[in-house]
A and B are shown apart, each in its own frame.
Chain A
């Protein structure tokens, strides 16, 4: 059963990896063709040296991802703290709003956000992209962190208050160090979202050298619908997935437990 599960999950990915590493002839016929070799790194060389090169998109995505993650945590931590301490109707209302926005399909926002970006001159600005991204990540981040705050023993914060610490100090010296695991898993999820977001990046960014990875990949795909250079594509998708693959594998415990804990306590 577990083997089947792994096959189902990984076979399509493995096929991409294989495609990226073989020559076109090998891909089509399954055998060594006229070029005389089966395995090749030519596909990677091609996307690496393309104009703009693939690393440009990776870099763009990383910049937006880092900015989004930092901004989201900066806003989500105080919000989660306030929500956790808040009682009554307001708590119920804010939680409901967060849940509703968390399940909202973000593609429906693209049109108005595009107009907003044009009106404010934010189109084709990588860092500005992190503003809507932050908003889209906030609901989930706040809900996860609120659950983490709820999990801390209340005595700890009281003890810190007795020692004369104000809220910023309590956060810095006591609460946030204890929340480190939850902060990490939240940060990873936010980064994942930012790395993968498509419709807004597609509509906000038009200059090729500023594209993030998803629209860049889609753009190459769209440019030649019938004669797709699949080997080069596969190389691009492998390179585009690699950072996330590493992130998920390195922080697997943190991601899974962060999400499941958050869901349980939420």
Chain B
């Protein structure tokens, strides 16, 4: 299947972002972003709303103008190019399908504008429709499609252009949970591993972990950390990344002097002696796991344990030293283990 995917013809060197910034009046939407995405690599931009991830995507697409910095695609500086010149494809959160055109015409419009001969155009459209199993739906209007079908059409329109860079803006946030999980491998199969880099914006950490080779975490327009999902989870750069990744969220104990200890709920466990004395407040059943809310001298803590584990009202909490995450209580930066 991967062989039949339309890809950029020339071998690429990927995407390189250097000191990219966007300011609007007094506000800084994105500050000095530096990133690299290799050919075929899928990078997720992850962060809460307003962190600058969509800003980054729009700068890469050429929909907004950068205040400073450069964007290099396959070695060429595209910062000054218009959106239409960049050969960048984007899948929008809303899918942005033209509501007045059929599926086939939605795909054809861009190629027609570019003056592609109708024979070649029809051939390419047929191939992409086939690839995404949309052939049956080619005469339908977007309003007559389900959410998942619309997303496939948006994807088809992106692939059709043989882009040098694929951008996806929360492409699954309008789909329901189960469909999202089913689509993740499908999306990876279609998009990643080819020639073109893929940048994927999401606020859903699970989606980022499932889709991306690497994740870049953004906050208030500033890059916090880039790395694999596992790196971010095990060695978060700071308190924000630690709190943003992992569900349920990490327990942050009250700061003791310049340092603060963070313990993930799944790393706490009951011990016979030592540890912290805790009293069970409440429990949530999660099927195979249970989340326990505990009251301790160090404040309220959450602990995630197997569902079949039965626990007394009063217990002692312990953890393995290698699971301790220490942060500078002031700056929030993670400190090397003691």
Contacts and interface: CB of A to CB of B under 8 A. Distances in A.
A147 B143 CA distance: 23
B67 interface: no
B84 A161 contact: yes
Nearest to A155: B96
Interface in A174-203: 174, 177-178
A164 B84 contact: yes
A86 to B, nearest CB: 15
Contacts of A156: 96, 98
Interface in A156-184: 156, 158-166, 169, 173-174, 177-178
B96 A158 contact: yes
B99 A158 contact: no
Nearest to A153: B94
Contact of A163 (B58, B93, B113): B113
B113 A169 contact: yes
Given A164-B110, A173-B109, A155 B94 contact: yes
A173 B113 contact: yes
B109 A161 contact: no
Contacts of B86: 162
A169 to B, nearest CB: 6
Contacts of A163: 84, 109-110, 113-114, 161
Contacts, number: 62
B99 A178 contact: yes
B92 interface: yes
A159 B109 CA distance: 11
Contacts of B100: 177-178
B113 A164 contact: yes
Given A158-B63, A178-B99, A164 B114 contact: yes
Nearest to A159: B96
B158 to A, nearest CB: 9
A162 B113 contact: no
Interface of B: 58, 61-63, 82-86, 88-90, 92-96, 98-100, 109-110, 113-114, 157, 161
